Amino acid sequence: MKLKKYEQNPILSPNAANDWESLVVTNPGAYYKDGTYYLLYRAAGDDAEHYIHFGLAESKDGYHFERVSDKPVLSPSPDGPDAGCVEDARIVEFDDQFYVTYAYRPFPPGRYWEFGPDEVLSFDVGEHAPSVLKKNTANSGLLISKDLRTYQRLGRITQSRLDNRDVIIFPEKINDQYYMLHRPKEWIGEEYGCEYPGIWISWSDDLMEWRHDKLLLKGEYDWERKIGGSTPPLRTDEGWLTLYHGVDDEGIYRVGVFLLDLADPTKVIARAPHFIMEPEHDYEWEGFYKGCVFPTGNVIVEDTLYVYYGGADKYVGVATCPVQEILDFVKKYPV
Protein backbone atom coordinates (compact mmCIF):
# COMPACT_ATOMS: atom_id res chain seq x y z
CA MET A 1 0.00 0.00 0.00
CA LYS A 2 1.32 3.45 -0.95
CA LEU A 3 -0.08 6.92 -0.54
CA LYS A 4 -1.16 8.46 -3.86
CA LYS A 5 0.77 11.63 -4.64
CA TYR A 6 -1.09 14.47 -6.34
CA GLU A 7 -0.13 14.62 -10.01
CA GLN A 8 0.29 18.40 -9.89
CA ASN A 9 2.70 18.40 -6.92
CA PRO A 10 4.33 20.49 -5.65
CA ILE A 11 1.30 22.42 -4.43
CA LEU A 12 3.47 25.19 -2.92
CA SER A 13 6.92 26.29 -4.05
CA PRO A 14 9.36 29.09 -3.21
CA ASN A 15 8.00 32.50 -4.14
CA ALA A 16 10.54 34.87 -5.68
CA ALA A 17 8.22 37.85 -5.06
CA ASN A 18 8.80 37.68 -1.30
CA ASP A 19 12.33 37.77 0.13
CA TRP A 20 11.36 35.70 3.19
CA GLU A 21 10.12 32.72 1.10
CA SER A 22 12.18 32.99 -2.06
CA LEU A 23 14.35 29.91 -1.36
CA VAL A 24 12.28 27.46 0.71
CA VAL A 25 8.58 26.64 1.19
CA THR A 26 8.20 23.27 2.90
CA ASN A 27 7.13 21.14 5.92
CA PRO A 28 3.61 22.48 6.55
CA GLY A 29 1.41 21.98 9.56
CA ALA A 30 -2.13 21.29 8.35
CA TYR A 31 -5.66 21.72 9.63
CA TYR A 32 -9.18 21.45 8.20
CA LYS A 33 -12.09 23.41 9.64
CA ASP A 34 -15.44 24.64 8.34
CA GLY A 35 -14.69 23.79 4.74
CA THR A 36 -11.19 25.30 4.63
CA TYR A 37 -7.80 23.59 4.56
CA TYR A 38 -4.96 25.49 6.22
CA LEU A 39 -1.21 25.04 5.70
CA LEU A 40 1.20 26.74 8.11
CA TYR A 41 4.38 26.30 6.13
CA ARG A 42 8.09 26.77 6.80
CA ALA A 43 9.71 29.43 4.63
CA ALA A 44 13.13 30.97 4.12
CA GLY A 45 14.81 33.40 1.77
CA ASP A 46 18.22 33.48 0.20
CA ASP A 47 20.08 35.05 3.15
CA ALA A 48 23.39 33.71 4.43
CA GLU A 49 22.07 33.19 7.97
CA HIS A 50 18.97 31.27 6.79
CA TYR A 51 16.34 32.78 9.08
CA ILE A 52 13.18 30.65 8.94
CA HIS A 53 9.57 31.92 9.13
CA PHE A 54 5.98 30.68 8.95
CA GLY A 55 3.64 31.52 6.09
CA LEU A 56 -0.04 30.61 5.83
CA ALA A 57 -1.98 29.33 2.83
CA GLU A 58 -5.64 28.30 2.47
CA SER A 59 -7.65 26.07 0.14
CA LYS A 60 -11.22 24.92 -0.41
CA ASP A 61 -10.35 21.62 -2.08
CA GLY A 62 -7.13 20.54 -0.31
CA TYR A 63 -5.01 20.84 -3.46
CA HIS A 64 -5.05 24.43 -4.72
CA PHE A 65 -3.72 26.80 -2.05
CA GLU A 66 -3.48 30.58 -1.95
CA ARG A 67 -1.20 32.51 0.38
CA VAL A 68 -3.11 34.75 2.78
CA SER A 69 -0.42 37.45 2.86
CA ASP A 70 2.82 38.55 1.28
CA LYS A 71 4.31 38.69 4.77
CA PRO A 72 5.03 35.91 7.31
CA VAL A 73 2.38 35.19 9.92
CA LEU A 74 5.16 34.40 12.40
CA SER A 75 8.89 35.15 12.32
CA PRO A 76 11.77 34.57 14.71
CA SER A 77 11.42 36.80 17.75
CA PRO A 78 13.80 39.77 17.97
CA ASP A 79 15.23 38.80 21.37
CA GLY A 80 13.70 35.52 22.54
CA PRO A 81 14.79 31.86 22.56
CA ASP A 82 13.40 31.42 19.04
CA ALA A 83 15.33 34.34 17.56
CA GLY A 84 16.96 32.15 14.91
CA CYS A 85 14.11 30.24 13.33
CA VAL A 86 10.54 28.97 13.68
CA GLU A 87 9.83 25.78 11.75
CA ASP A 88 7.95 22.49 11.26
CA ALA A 89 4.56 23.31 12.79
CA ARG A 90 2.14 20.64 13.97
CA ILE A 91 -1.42 21.86 14.65
CA VAL A 92 -4.19 20.65 16.98
CA GLU A 93 -7.21 22.45 18.44
CA PHE A 94 -8.68 22.74 21.93
CA ASP A 95 -11.58 24.98 22.97
CA ASP A 96 -11.81 26.65 19.56
CA GLN A 97 -8.15 27.67 19.76
CA PHE A 98 -5.20 26.29 17.82
CA TYR A 99 -2.22 24.84 19.69
CA VAL A 100 0.88 24.67 17.52
CA THR A 101 4.10 22.91 18.43
CA TYR A 102 7.15 24.10 16.53
CA ALA A 103 10.93 23.76 16.49
CA TYR A 104 13.21 26.73 17.04
CA ARG A 105 16.82 27.78 17.66
CA PRO A 106 18.35 30.76 19.45
CA PHE A 107 20.35 31.62 16.31
CA PRO A 108 19.69 30.94 12.63
CA PRO A 109 21.03 27.57 11.42
CA GLY A 110 22.89 28.92 8.41
CA ARG A 111 22.96 27.25 5.00
CA TYR A 112 23.04 23.81 6.58
CA TRP A 113 23.04 21.94 3.26
CA GLU A 114 26.58 23.24 2.74
CA PHE A 115 27.73 21.83 6.12
CA GLY A 116 28.29 18.31 7.39
CA PRO A 117 25.44 16.12 8.68
CA ASP A 118 23.49 17.72 11.56
CA GLU A 119 25.78 20.77 11.57
CA VAL A 120 24.46 24.32 12.00
CA LEU A 121 25.98 27.75 12.54
CA SER A 122 27.55 28.32 15.94
CA PHE A 123 28.30 31.65 17.59
CA ASP A 124 30.82 32.95 20.11
CA VAL A 125 28.60 33.39 23.16
CA GLY A 126 31.21 33.19 25.91
CA GLU A 127 32.54 30.52 28.24
CA HIS A 128 29.66 30.69 30.71
CA ALA A 129 26.78 30.64 28.22
CA PRO A 130 24.42 27.65 28.52
CA SER A 131 24.94 24.79 26.09
CA VAL A 132 21.78 25.63 24.15
CA LEU A 133 23.47 28.86 23.05
CA LYS A 134 26.92 27.36 22.50
CA LYS A 135 25.55 24.58 20.31
CA ASN A 136 22.64 26.56 18.79
CA THR A 137 20.49 23.64 19.92
CA ALA A 138 17.01 23.01 18.49
CA ASN A 139 14.23 22.92 21.07
CA SER A 140 10.45 22.83 20.70
CA GLY A 141 7.90 25.37 21.85
CA LEU A 142 4.16 25.91 21.96
CA LEU A 143 2.08 28.60 20.27
CA ILE A 144 -1.62 29.39 20.65
CA SER A 145 -3.75 31.17 18.07
CA LYS A 146 -7.39 31.93 17.35
CA ASP A 147 -6.93 32.27 13.60
CA LEU A 148 -3.47 30.95 12.59
CA ARG A 149 -2.57 34.54 11.70
CA THR A 150 -1.60 35.96 15.09
CA TYR A 151 0.15 34.00 17.86
CA GLN A 152 1.07 33.99 21.50
CA ARG A 153 4.34 32.20 22.33
CA LEU A 154 4.08 30.04 25.45
CA GLY A 155 7.72 28.99 25.50
CA ARG A 156 9.68 25.77 25.58
CA ILE A 157 7.95 22.44 26.31
CA THR A 158 11.03 20.19 26.04
CA GLN A 159 14.12 19.87 28.22
CA SER A 160 16.57 22.68 27.54
CA ARG A 161 19.71 20.57 27.05
CA LEU A 162 18.14 18.21 24.53
CA ASP A 163 17.94 18.55 20.77
CA ASN A 164 14.28 17.60 20.71
CA ARG A 165 12.15 18.05 17.60
CA ASP A 166 9.19 16.23 16.04
CA VAL A 167 7.13 17.26 19.08
CA ILE A 168 3.48 16.49 18.40
CA ILE A 169 0.49 16.85 20.73
CA PHE A 170 -2.50 14.50 20.52
CA PRO A 171 -5.67 16.36 19.49
CA GLU A 172 -7.64 15.48 22.63
CA LYS A 173 -7.17 14.56 26.28
CA ILE A 174 -7.15 10.86 27.13
CA ASN A 175 -7.97 9.74 30.67
CA ASP A 176 -7.68 13.38 31.76
CA GLN A 177 -4.13 13.66 30.43
CA TYR A 178 -2.53 15.34 27.43
CA TYR A 179 -0.18 13.16 25.39
CA MET A 180 2.79 14.15 23.25
CA LEU A 181 5.18 12.42 20.86
CA HIS A 182 8.77 13.65 20.74
CA ARG A 183 12.23 12.65 19.50
CA PRO A 184 15.15 13.55 21.83
CA LYS A 185 18.30 12.92 19.79
CA GLU A 186 20.49 12.43 22.87
CA TRP A 187 18.35 9.64 24.37
CA ILE A 188 20.27 6.75 22.88
CA GLY A 189 22.28 3.87 24.32
CA GLU A 190 21.59 0.93 26.59
CA GLU A 191 19.99 3.00 29.33
CA TYR A 192 17.40 4.34 26.90
CA GLY A 193 16.73 1.11 25.02
CA CYS A 194 17.59 2.35 21.54
CA GLU A 195 20.79 2.60 19.53
CA TYR A 196 19.52 5.51 17.42
CA PRO A 197 16.97 8.25 18.18
CA GLY A 198 13.44 6.90 18.51
CA ILE A 199 9.90 8.09 19.18
CA TRP A 200 8.98 8.74 22.80
CA ILE A 201 5.58 9.43 24.30
CA SER A 202 4.99 11.70 27.29
CA TRP A 203 1.93 12.79 29.24
CA SER A 204 1.00 15.86 31.20
CA ASP A 205 -1.93 17.53 32.93
CA ASP A 206 -1.22 21.05 31.64
CA LEU A 207 0.50 20.89 28.19
CA MET A 208 3.68 22.55 29.49
CA GLU A 209 5.22 20.24 32.13
CA TRP A 210 5.90 16.77 30.72
CA ARG A 211 7.19 14.64 33.59
CA HIS A 212 6.57 11.13 32.23
CA ASP A 213 8.39 9.54 29.28
CA LYS A 214 8.22 6.14 27.61
CA LEU A 215 10.03 4.82 24.55
CA LEU A 216 7.26 4.12 22.05
CA LEU A 217 9.07 3.03 18.86
CA LYS A 218 12.62 2.53 17.66
CA GLY A 219 14.00 1.73 14.22
CA GLU A 220 13.61 -1.93 13.31
CA TYR A 221 13.54 -2.23 9.52
CA ASP A 222 16.16 -1.67 6.83
CA TRP A 223 14.53 1.59 5.66
CA GLU A 224 14.74 3.15 9.13
CA ARG A 225 17.68 3.82 11.40
CA LYS A 226 16.63 6.88 13.35
CA ILE A 227 12.90 7.58 13.36
CA GLY A 228 10.63 10.40 14.47
CA GLY A 229 6.98 11.36 14.60
CA SER A 230 5.54 13.09 11.55
CA THR A 231 1.92 14.22 11.91
CA PRO A 232 -0.63 14.61 14.73
CA PRO A 233 -2.32 11.26 15.52
CA LEU A 234 -5.84 10.99 14.09
CA ARG A 235 -8.68 9.32 15.99
CA THR A 236 -10.34 6.45 14.09
CA ASP A 237 -12.57 3.61 15.26
CA GLU A 238 -9.56 1.29 14.96
CA GLY A 239 -7.11 3.39 17.02
CA TRP A 240 -4.91 6.47 16.76
CA LEU A 241 -3.71 6.51 13.15
CA THR A 242 -0.14 7.84 13.29
CA LEU A 243 2.45 8.52 10.61
CA TYR A 244 6.19 8.65 11.24
CA HIS A 245 9.39 9.07 9.27
CA GLY A 246 12.34 6.73 9.03
CA VAL A 247 15.85 7.57 7.84
CA ASP A 248 18.06 4.81 6.43
CA ASP A 249 21.87 4.47 6.43
CA GLU A 250 22.09 6.61 3.29
CA GLY A 251 20.02 9.42 4.80
CA ILE A 252 16.87 8.80 2.73
CA TYR A 253 13.59 9.80 4.41
CA ARG A 254 10.53 7.56 4.02
CA VAL A 255 7.14 7.39 5.75
CA GLY A 256 5.64 4.61 7.88
CA VAL A 257 2.40 4.07 9.79
CA PHE A 258 1.34 2.61 13.13
CA LEU A 259 -1.79 2.42 15.29
CA LEU A 260 -2.02 3.29 18.99
CA ASP A 261 -4.66 2.12 21.45
CA LEU A 262 -7.44 4.69 21.80
CA ALA A 263 -7.69 4.39 25.58
CA ASP A 264 -3.95 4.00 26.23
CA PRO A 265 -1.79 5.63 23.53
CA THR A 266 1.39 4.28 25.13
CA LYS A 267 0.40 0.91 23.58
CA VAL A 268 1.27 0.24 19.94
CA ILE A 269 -1.36 -2.15 18.57
CA ALA A 270 -0.15 -2.38 14.95
CA ARG A 271 2.88 -1.26 12.94
CA ALA A 272 3.49 -1.82 9.25
CA PRO A 273 7.00 -3.04 8.35
CA HIS A 274 6.73 -1.47 4.88
CA PHE A 275 6.92 2.24 4.14
CA ILE A 276 3.92 3.94 2.54
CA MET A 277 5.77 6.80 0.83
CA GLU A 278 9.32 7.43 -0.40
CA PRO A 279 11.08 10.09 -2.52
CA GLU A 280 10.52 9.48 -6.22
CA HIS A 281 10.14 12.78 -8.07
CA ASP A 282 12.36 15.78 -8.79
CA TYR A 283 10.68 17.91 -6.11
CA GLU A 284 11.62 15.22 -3.55
CA TRP A 285 15.23 14.93 -4.71
CA GLU A 286 16.29 18.29 -6.15
CA GLY A 287 16.32 20.56 -3.12
CA PHE A 288 18.33 21.25 0.02
CA TYR A 289 17.98 17.71 1.36
CA LYS A 290 18.11 15.24 -1.48
CA GLY A 291 15.83 12.25 -1.06
CA CYS A 292 13.32 13.43 1.52
CA VAL A 293 9.57 13.18 2.02
CA PHE A 294 8.69 14.67 5.41
CA PRO A 295 5.01 14.84 6.46
CA THR A 296 4.09 17.41 9.09
CA GLY A 297 0.33 17.69 8.59
CA ASN A 298 -2.60 15.37 7.98
CA VAL A 299 -6.37 15.67 8.00
CA ILE A 300 -9.31 13.37 7.43
CA VAL A 301 -12.10 14.85 5.33
CA GLU A 302 -15.08 12.55 4.78
CA ASP A 303 -13.39 9.20 4.04
CA THR A 304 -10.08 10.50 2.67
CA LEU A 305 -6.75 10.99 4.41
CA TYR A 306 -4.79 14.01 3.15
CA VAL A 307 -1.08 14.01 4.02
CA TYR A 308 0.89 17.23 3.55
CA TYR A 309 4.63 16.93 3.37
CA GLY A 310 7.90 18.66 2.60
CA GLY A 311 9.84 17.53 -0.45
CA ALA A 312 13.66 17.81 -0.37
CA ASP A 313 13.46 20.63 2.22
CA LYS A 314 12.23 22.97 -0.53
CA TYR A 315 8.66 22.19 -1.67
CA VAL A 316 5.23 21.17 -0.37
CA GLY A 317 3.36 18.16 -1.70
CA VAL A 318 0.15 16.33 -0.84
CA ALA A 319 -0.67 12.62 -0.97
CA THR A 320 -3.97 10.89 -0.23
CA CYS A 321 -5.65 7.54 0.33
CA PRO A 322 -8.99 6.23 1.57
CA VAL A 323 -8.88 6.07 5.38
CA GLN A 324 -10.15 2.49 5.46
CA GLU A 325 -7.43 1.39 3.04
CA ILE A 326 -4.59 2.54 5.28
CA LEU A 327 -6.32 1.12 8.37
CA ASP A 328 -6.78 -2.28 6.71
CA PHE A 329 -3.13 -2.21 5.66
CA VAL A 330 -1.62 -1.43 9.06
CA LYS A 331 -3.96 -3.86 10.89
CA LYS A 332 -2.33 -6.70 8.98
CA TYR A 333 0.66 -6.23 11.27
CA PRO A 334 -0.50 -6.40 14.89
CA VAL A 335 2.13 -5.93 17.59
pLDDT at residue 230, rounded to an integer: 98
Question: pLDDT band at 2, cuts 50/70/90?
Answer: very high
State mean pLDDT over 298-310: 98
State mean pLDDT over 185-212: 96
pLDDT at residue 260, rounded to an integer: 98
pLDDT at residue 111, rounded to an integer: 97
> Residue 31: is its pLDDT beyond 90?
yes
Question: pLDDT band at 168, cuts 50/70/90?
Answer: very high
How far is Cα 197 from Cα 128, in angstroms, rounded to an integer? Answer: 29
> Residue 117: is its pLDDT beyond 90?
no
State mean pLDDT over 53-70: 98
Average per-residue pLDDT for the chain: 97
- Are the beta carbons of 155 and 81 closer than 8 angstroms? yes
State mean pLDDT over 108-125: 94
CATH number of 4-330: 2.115.10.20
> Residue 159: is its pLDDT beyond 90?
no
State mean pLDDT over 20-25: 98
The pLDDT tens digits for 278-287 are 999 999 999 9
> Residue 258: is its pLDDT beyond 90?
yes
Question: pLDDT band at 50, cuts 50/70/90?
Answer: very high
Question: pLDDT band at 85, cuts 50/70/90?
Answer: very high
pLDDT at residue 45, rounded to an integer: 98
pLDDT at residue 156, rounded to an integer: 96
State mean pLDDT over 308-313: 98
Domain edges within the chain: 4-330
How far is Cα 172 from Cα 149, in angstroms, rounded to an integer? Answer: 23
Question: pLDDT band at 266, cuts 50/70/90?
Answer: very high
pLDDT at residue 54, rounded to an integer: 99
Query: Residues, the chain, total?
Result: 335
Percent of the chain with pLDDT over 90: 98
Percent of the chain with pLDDT over 70: 100
How far is Cα 11 from Cα 61, in angstroms, rounded to an integer? Answer: 12
State mean pLDDT over 242-250: 97
DSSP string across 116-158: STT--------TTS-HHHHTT--EEEEEEESSSSS-EEEEE-S
